Amino acid sequence: MKFRCEKEVLAEALGAASRASTGRSTNPTMSCLRLVLAGDQLRITGTDGDLTIDASIIVAGEKDGVVLVPAKLTSDIVRSLPSGAVKFDLGEDNVDISANRVNFTVPIGAGDDFPKWSGTVGQGASMSARDFSEALRQVVRSASTDDTRGVFTGVLLTGIAGKLRLVATDSYRMSVRDINTNVLPDGTSVVIPARALGELQKLLSIAEQVSINITENDATFEVGSVRLVTRLLTGAFADYQRLIPANSPNKLVISRDIMLEAIRRVKHVARDPIGTPLRLEIKANSVTLRMVTPDNGEAVEQIDAVVHGNDIEIRFNNELLTQGLDASGAEEITIQTSEPGKLALIRGVGQEDFTYLLMPLKS
């Protein structure tokens, strides 16, 4: 194998593919990238067995070939090189990577057990990459990060009323986002690992459209010249529609930015900024934020708001509340609840396509 390629193009492709590789597997090939050169097309593939990212770029090919190279090392080397042409030249037991007067000699991987490509090739159902990226930003963070939680480490994608709905929950909060695109038939549902969708989000800026193909076992996303394949998660997802309150008469309307700034200020007294409860005292035309800690004292801030319903006091995990407010993206937000111990429903004013539900803390 021998080729030349502009550093920026090669670095971007190596970086994308290497995000799927892992050094934690007992299979050493999982920490490698597979490079396949045919003519002027170079295909770079990284995988951990569950997630595969495949990038194809055009290079100046001189000699076709196939090689496994260390994923992180190779990506770091190319990214560090000066701008201009990068040369790859495969030898017996190593590959030379050079640019200008810089040269690296890198050992190559061995073995024939690099996982085979399992994705779907061909145009799938297409949607706006920008819309999908924004939906992932709002929803993925609500999936569980505990690997023992199985299906709750993923995001439910389902077709409903001609739209695509994304749902994620870690049992403490839940995000629901609708996209006005018909890429899954109504009633069709799959659960995709949140990690895979997080990596997909990093790719969505390189194209205007993203296509999706769903098979029985995996999902393939194609963004420009990059394809991402991930296995589907199996198991019973939460009956999320049952969890959305039908009636929440107590409603707070407030500026999102003012609320976020107030939360950041009162958190100064928290020894544990994430776990310290935040108390909201909601009364006519105002909400008082209160945080109390044994070591650092008490912080109180009152801000103006529009309040409908009863005066209530409710406590939240301040970090989960902050994430919900941040995800909404609207200038004004509403917080609705039926009573202090029930799920709170957070939405942006005028943005009915995103709902964030948060379980209050016990008093």
Q: Which one is predicted more confidently, 284 or 157? A: 157
Domain map of the chain by residue range?
2-107, 125-242, 244-358
pLDDT in tens, 1-53: 999 999 999 999 999 999 998 766 667 788 999 999 999 999 999 999 899 99
pLDDT in tens, 179-191: 999 999 999 999 9
Q: Which residues contact 118 (CB under 8 A, 6 or more apart)?
A: 52, 217, 218, 229
Distance CA 218, CA 158 (A): 15
The pLDDT of residue 229: 95
The pLDDT of residue 58: 98
What is the second-level CATH architecture of the domain 2-107?
Answer: Roll (3.10)
Which of 307, 305, 311, 321 is closest to 263 using CA atoms? Answer: 321
Residue 206 has pLDDT above 90, yes or no: no
| pTM as predicted | 0.91
Mean pLDDT of 157-178: 96
Quickly tell me which residue has 């295909």 as its tokens.
43
Q: At what angle do helices 7-18 and 71-80 cross, to 10 degrees?
A: 150
Mean pLDDT of 195-209: 94
Q: Which one is predicted more confidently, 148 or 272? A: 148
Distance CA 215, CA 119 (A): 9
The pLDDT of residue 297: 92
The pLDDT of residue 123: 60
The neighbour count for residue 243, using CB atoms within 10 Å, is 14
The pLDDT of residue 243: 87
Q: At what angle do helices 129-139 and 194-203 cross, to 10 degrees?
A: 140
Please, which pLDDT band fits residue 270 given cuts at 50, 70 and 90?
Answer: confident
Residue 290 has pLDDT above 70, yes or no: yes
104: left (phi over 0), alpha (psi -120 to 50) or beta: beta
The pLDDT of residue 252: 94
pLDDT in tens, 115-161: 776 666 656 789 999 999 999 999 999 999 999 999 999 999 999 99
Please, which pLDDT band fits residue 85 given cuts at 50, 70 and 90?
Answer: very high
The pLDDT of residue 23: 61
pLDDT in tens, 296-346: 899 999 999 999 999 999 999 999 999 999 999 899 999 999 888 889 999
Q: Which one is predicted more confidently, 33 or 352? A: 33
Q: Which one is predicted more confidently, 343 or 271? A: 343
Distance CA 53, CA 198 (A): 13
The rounded Cα 3 to chain-centroid distance in angstroms is 34
341 and 320 in contact (C-beta within 8 Å)?
Answer: no
Distance CA 98, CA 12 (A): 17
Which of 53, 58, 41 is closest to 222 using CA atoms? Answer: 53
Residue 111 has pLDDT above 70, yes or no: no
Kindly report the CATH number that applies to the domain delimited by 125-242: 3.10.150.10
Q: Which residues contact 293 (CB under 8 A, 6 or more apart)?
A: 269, 270, 271, 276
Mean pLDDT of 64-82: 96
Q: How far is CA 7 from CA 12, 16, 60, 77, in A?
A: 9, 14, 12, 10
Please, which pLDDT band fits residue 363 given cuts at 50, 70 and 90?
Answer: low
Q: Which residues contact 150 (CB under 8 A, 6 or more apart)?
A: 233, 235
pLDDT in tens, 213-269: 998 899 999 999 999 999 999 999 989 999 888 888 999 999 999 999 999 999 999
Establish whether domains 2-107 and 244-358 are of one fold. Answer: yes
Fold of 244-358: DNA Polymerase III; Chain A, domain 2 (3.10.150)
57 and 8 in contact (C-beta within 8 Å)?
Answer: no
